A and B are shown apart, each in its own frame.
Chain A
Amino acid sequence: DAGVTQSPTHLIKTRGQQVTLRCSPKSGHDTVSWYQQALGQGPQFIFQYYEEEERQRGNFPDRFSGHQFPNYSSELNVNALLLGDSALYLCASSLAGDYPLSYEQYFGPGTRLTVT
């Protein structure tokens, strides 16, 4: 049973550039959430996708956008990168259920983004 996969593992970008991160959910899961984790901090919720739509969103600017495909995989796009966007970006998959954000989440290994 394949778990959550993310690509790439590491990425170095220059301030002002754009980046796309990819995630494939655990088999059987239909919901994908994205988190940003700065060094020494807990994960911060960016947004959640279900049925190819953004269903929930955290306190992140519009520079952060996403997409979910019919096969439930997802992309996170960040435009106009800032030095402060350097972090580990985690993807988590879950089931949608009756209550959003109320099912256990399974995390991928993350993408380490460094902005110089």
Chain B
Amino acid sequence: QQPVQSPQAVILREGEDAVINCSSSKALYSVHWYRQKHGEAPVFLMILLKGGEQKGHEKISASFNEKKQQSSLYLTASQLSYSGTYFCGSPVFTNTGNQFYFGTGTSLTVIP
């Protein structure tokens, strides 16, 4: 049920770009992206809804392929402040109940 993210970890130099992928075995009705810095709470980055609606920070971009049950987060011109663990997440609706699942996480480190 838990979405799988790739890569598990990535190291970037300032200014480089990165793509983080999120794949689910279940139908995705919406995809959320969060960033969590060490010792802090997750921070909302973006939500993508079926039909193409997106809501999030201006400097963050993402895609959502409903048919492939995948989403990707695009980080461009990375800054040191981008370092942290990125999680995708999605609600899963079943006849026994609904839950929210976070993905396996991607650790991103930006170095000078």
Contacts and interface: CB of A to CB of B under 8 A. Distances in A.
B29 interface: yes
Determine chain B's interface SS by DSSP, over half rule: strand
B72 interface: no
Interface stretch (A14-22, A71-79, A106-114): A106-114
B42 A102 contact: no
Contact of A57 (B30, B97, B102, B104): B97
A28 interface: no
B101 A102 contact: no
B99 interface: yes
Interface residues of A, number: 25
Interface residues of B, number: 26
Contacts of B55: 104
Given A42-B102, A42-B103, A45-B100, A100 B44 contact: no
A116 interface: no
B99 A56 contact: yes
Contact of B100 (A33, A107, A108, A110): A33
Nearest to A42: B102
A104 B41 contact: no
Given A102-B49, A105-B32, 15 more contacts: A41-B105, A43-B42, A44-B102, A56-B100, A57-B97, A99-B29, A99-B91, A100-B93, A100-B98, A101-B99, A102-B29, A102-B30, A104-B32, A104-B56, A110-B41
16 contacts: A33-B100, A42-B103, A42-B105, A43-B87, A44-B102, A48-B100, A56-B98, A90-B42, A100-B91, A101-B91, A101-B99, A104-B32, A107-B42, A107-B43, A107-B44, A109-B41
